Amino acid sequence: HPVSPLFPQRAQFGSCSLRRMSVMEALQLLDQLVDESDPDVDFPNSFHAFQTAEGIRRAHPDKDWFHLVGLLHDLGKVLALFGEPQ
């Protein structure tokens, strides 16, 4: 794929060769990050992901795809652990 000026990280991260991990591993890795948008939060970032997914499940029990989106919505933040800015 050509490198798009809209997505310059595609060349660096698009091949997924930096590190392979499961979603659960990525969620655990996310716990090592201090989120600049919420630096005073006293619970792990993975808790936020599960809390979001559960809130969506309660509000929209028939939309399983939405539950998954709630769980995954912050996973891109793990790139900050590899030198990307938040």
Which pLDDT tens digit goes with each residue over 72-83?
998 988 888 888
> Tell me, what amino acid is at 20?
R
* pLDDT bracket for residue 46 (50, 70, 90): very high
Annotated binding site: 48, 73-74
| Cα dihedral 54, 50, 52, 40 sign | positive
Burial category of 49 from C-beta neighbours within 10 Å (exposed 0-12, middle 13-18, buried 19 and up): buried
Please give the sequence-ordered ranges of beta strands (E in DSSP) within the chain, or none if there are none: none
Residue 10 DSSP class: H
Binding residues for Fe cation: 48, 73-74
What's residue 65's pLDDT?
A: 97
What is the share, in percent, of the chain residues with pLDDT greater than 90?
A: 44
pLDDT score, position 55: 97
* 47: confidence class by pLDDT, cuts 50, 70, 90: very high
pLDDT in tens, 24-38: 999 999 999 887 877
